[in-house]
Amino acid sequence: MKKLIVYIDAGHGGINPHTGKYMTSPIWGKYYEFLPTSKEKGFTIYEGDINRKIANFFSEELEKAGIPYRKIYHEWQDTSLVQRCFVANQFFAEDVKKGLFPILLSFHSNAFGNSPKGTGEKPKGWSVWTTKGTTESDKIAQIWFDETKKLLQNKITYREDLSDGDSDWEENFTILASTVMPAVLVENLFFTNREDAKLLLSEEYQKLSAKAALNTVLTYQKQ
């Protein structure tokens, strides 16, 4: 059994608890204001805040399971990708010397279009991402996909890229390509889709998502 240590990443900035300000740069956006419709009230969702809520529930699950972890994100500040990769790689050098096997799980949610507000966009669904090519990360990604489907079943839509025989999508995102340990990124639904956004804002979904991530770690640890 692998002696895992999990590095947890939550994309973008969160909500400053002192000012209530969303800390992701307006250049990047990463939020969506749903305008009222004839049937529903309006509301706003902030991706970085949701990423942290799920990541924090995940850290609690790891704590209960007795699995060591390190957070590479700030609780609300928007730490740069370069800095987060640097921190993760520093931790890796330290932890490997201790006989630990580090992996990195990154929490995000997806978006469609460039407008920060509207009645909502059509694209929806959950997806998992690795770098291009076949790596150890592919194993973790497939487990994460399978464990999420077991827990959430038909409550959400799943987006797969089966062109290379597994479910993950491949792109050299910085957090995946510039870190040295196996690293996987999940897009937890589309925050620009009204149905998906409501799920993301619910504590029930956030905890189920965190549980699926924990089950991923537990399953991978045994392989």
pLDDT tier, 1 (very low <50, low <70, confident <90, very high otherwise): confident
Burial 129-138 (b: 16+ CB within 10 A, else e): bbbeeebebb
Residue ranges per domain, the chain? Answer: 4-222
Mean pLDDT of 55-74: 98
Check pLDDT > 90 for residue 20: yes
- What's the chain's average pLDDT? 97
Q: Report pLDDT digits (tens) over 197-221.
A: 999 999 999 999 999 999 999 999 9
Check pLDDT > 90 for residue 126: yes
4-222 domain in CATH 3.40.630.40?
A: yes
pLDDT the model gives residue 181: 98
Residues 223 and 107: their CA atoms lie apart, in Å, by 23
Check pLDDT > 90 for residue 190: yes
Check pLDDT > 90 for residue 26: no
Check pLDDT > 90 for residue 166: yes
Check pLDDT > 90 for residue 93: yes
Residue 6, number of CB atoms within 10 A of its CB: 25
pLDDT the model gives residue 32: 98
